[in-house]
């Protein structure tokens, strides 16, 4: 009987990972230009931010059993976090291609999935600012109509940019900045970095960019390079996670120009990092698990074995995209703190 609960936990974790995205992509019945566009977002309203350091939100959370605390009150840096696609289901209102920030059902899913499990990682390194935005539906990434994809993502980025402008004008106060993102959020973060940081004066304020969950070329920016170690600043971290031995269909199966940062060693080489070096990850129910996962770069992607918990032999997930950050919660958290300290020491 004592073994049943852990087994249920890992099964729930597998279900949780799969439920965060649609296994068979939801097909939208209309083209982008046939769908109404949600109203523009006013970022002077607190409700239009999923996380702000001035309000209680799920970015302030600490995993159950984790050995650390929320440090935003004393943090010397800021974190601008751009969440991934949560609109993966059949739309529940008239807005098909872009979600409304007034959709309470969608907002709840954003908060309980990505703000809790991802944005909270950074509450030891900085004050967290996470805007709600008119995110593109998951179908925008798989549609055959490029113009629909571009239009939906364009609306979403318009909001991210507007939120960042508001953040700079009203919140930043010349503090160093971490950019953090996942999946669709990384698409927008990459564009934001190009416009605001890459070869621009604001680049001097960039501690690091954690742009996770999208295949990212090494030369995606002109002046900002991939981080090569755990303390480098003004650089970016990128990786996408798959089961050890598996390469996705889009991968050329040969040498690539993609960045893959090992989130345990913080190097770009292909050396293996044991789960024993991973201080902890976060599983289903926002539970802390020590030595959760190992990591190894391979041909521009990150390989991991199934998380080291009881019942792991029953989990057969090849694409660990949804858990890109959960698997390495503690290493990312500590590394963000290290990079902030290093940045401040140079000022």
Q: What is the mean pLDDT of each run of 10 residues along the chain (347 residues)?
A: 43 44 65 96 98 98 97 98 97 95 98 98 98 98 96 98 98 98 98 98 98 98 98 98 97 95 98 98 95 98 94 90 98 98 96
Sign of CA dihedral 258, 264, 266, 267: negative
Long-range contacts of 260-263 (CB under 8 A, 24+ apart): 260/297, 260/298, 260/300, 260/301, 260/302, 261/226, 261/227, 261/237, 261/297, 261/302, 262/295, 262/296, 262/297, 262/302, 263/237, 263/239, 263/295, 263/302, 263/327, 263/328, 263/331, 263/332, 263/335
In this predicted structure, what is the pLDDT of residue 21? 45
Res 7: pLDDT: 42
Considering the entire predicted model, what is its pTM? 0.94
Question: How many other CB atoms are found less than 10 A from the CB of residue 145?
Answer: 12
Q: Quick one: tokens of 146?
A: 């490029």
């Amino acid at each position: 009987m004592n073994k049943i609960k852990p087994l249920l936990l890992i099964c729930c974790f597998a279900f949780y990972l799969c439920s965060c995205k649609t296994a068979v992509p939801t097909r939208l019945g209309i083209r982008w230009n046939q769908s109404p566009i949600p109203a523009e977002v006013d970022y002077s309203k607190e409700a239009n931010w999923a996380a702000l350091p001035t309000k209680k939100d799920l970015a302030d959370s600490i995993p159950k059993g984790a050995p650390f605390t929320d440090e935003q009150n004393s943090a010397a840096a800021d974190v601008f976090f751009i969440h991934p696609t949560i609109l993966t289901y059949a739309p529940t209102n008239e807005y098909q291609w872009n979600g409304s920030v007034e959709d309470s059902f969608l907002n709840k899913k954003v908060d309980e999935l990505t703000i809790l499990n991802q944005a909270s990682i950074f509450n030891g390194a900085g004050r967290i600012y996470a805007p709600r935005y008119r995110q593109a539906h998951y179908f925008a990434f798989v549609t055959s109509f490029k113009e629909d994809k571009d239009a939906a993502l364009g609306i979403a980025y318009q909001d991210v940019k507007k939120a960042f402008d508001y953040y700079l004008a009203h919140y930043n106060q010349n503090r160093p900045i971490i950019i953090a993102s996942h999946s669709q959020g990384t698409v927008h973060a990459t564009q934001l970095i190009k416009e605001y940081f890459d070869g621009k004066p604001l680049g001097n304020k960039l501690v690091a960019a954690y742009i996770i969950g999208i295949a990212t070329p090494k030369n995606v920016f002109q002046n900002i390079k991939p981080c090569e170690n755990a303390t480098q600043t003004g650089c970016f971290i990128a990786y996408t996670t798959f089961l050890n031995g598996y390469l996705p269909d889009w991968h050329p199966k040969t040498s690539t120009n993609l960045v893959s940062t090992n989130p345990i060693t913080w190097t770009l080489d292909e050396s293996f990092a044991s789960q024993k070096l991973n201080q902890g990850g976060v599983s289903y129910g926002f539970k802390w698990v020590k030595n959760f996962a190992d990591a190894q770069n391979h041909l521009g992607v990150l390989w991991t074995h199934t998380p080291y918990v009881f019942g792991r032999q029953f989990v057969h997930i090849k694409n660990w995209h949804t858990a890109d950050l959960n698997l390495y919660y503690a290493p990312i958290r500590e590394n963000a703190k290290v990079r902030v300290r290093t940045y401040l020491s140079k000022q």
